[in-house]
């Protein structure tokens, strides 16, 4: 199975009241083979949840374009 990495983007914004707001965003990609297998497109959403076991991640694929 192909592996992907996670990239982190940090930013800071000043709120109208003058306080600084720090934001951290995480991004990863999906291996092309998986995207093609599940026929993913721009309408596809992923539901992420933590499983019962240590280091287990469950992903549910929703094809929102299907009727």
pLDDT tens digits, 5-57: 999 999 999 988 889 989 999 999 999 999 999 999 999 999 999 977 788 88
C-alpha pair distances (Å), 65 with each of 20, 25, 31, 40, 43: 39, 26, 21, 10, 5
Residue 38: per-residue pLDDT: 92
Grade residue 2 by pLDDT with cuts at 50, 70 and 90. confident
C-alpha pair distances (Å), 24 with each of 8, 10, 39, 60: 7, 5, 30, 24
Residues 12 and 18: their CA atoms lie apart, in Å, by: 12
Task: For residue 34, give the DSSP letter.
Answer: H
Residue 66: per-residue pLDDT: 60
């Amino acid at each position: 199975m192909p592996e992907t990495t996670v990239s982190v983007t940090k930013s800071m914004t000043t709120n109208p009241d003058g306080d600084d707001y720090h934001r951290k965003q995480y991004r990863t990609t999906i291996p092309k083979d998986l995207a093609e297998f599940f026929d993913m497109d721009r309408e596809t959403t992923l539901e992420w949840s933590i499983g019962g076991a240590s280091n287990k991640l469950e992903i549910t694929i929703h094809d929102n374009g299907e009727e």
